[in-house]
Structure 1
Amino acid sequence: MRFTNQTAATNFLLLGLSSDPELQPVMFGLFLFIYLVTMIGNLFIILAIISDYHLHTPMYFFISNLSLTDLCTSTTTIPKMLVNIQEQNLSITFAGCLTQACFAMLFASLECCLLGAMAYDRYVAICYPLRYTVIMNWRLCSLLILFSLISSIVNALLLSLMVLWLSFCKDLEIPHFFCEITQVIKAACSDTFINNILIYIAGLTFGGITFAGIIFSYTEIVSSVLKISSVQGRYKAFSTCGSHLSVVSLFYGTGLGVCISSAVTDSPRMTAVASVMYTIVTQMLNPFIYSLRNKDMKEALKKLIGRMTFLL
Structure 2
Amino acid sequence: MTAEEKILYKLRKARRKEERLAEALTKIEPKESSETTHDPEILTPEEHFFFLKMGLKCKNYVPIGRRGIYQGVILNMHLHWKKHQTLKVVVKTFSLEEVKEIAVELARLTGGIVLDIHEENTIIMYRGKNYSQPPTEIMSPRITLSRKKALDKSKYRDGLRAVRKYIPRLEGDLELLQAQAKMQAENKTEAVEDFQNANIDSINSQGISNLQPENSDKLRELLAGNNESSEEESLTDSGTESCSEALSDIFESDSDTDTKEKAEQPLYLNEFEKFPVESDGEPEDFEEHLRQISADSRKAKSLEKDADLPQLDEVDQMFLRAASLLKKKRR
Q: Provide the TM-score with structure 1 as the length reference.
A: 0.21
Normalised TM-score (structure 2): 0.20
Larger relative contact order (CA 8 Å, sep ≥ 6): 1
Whichever of the two has the greater Rg, that structure is 2
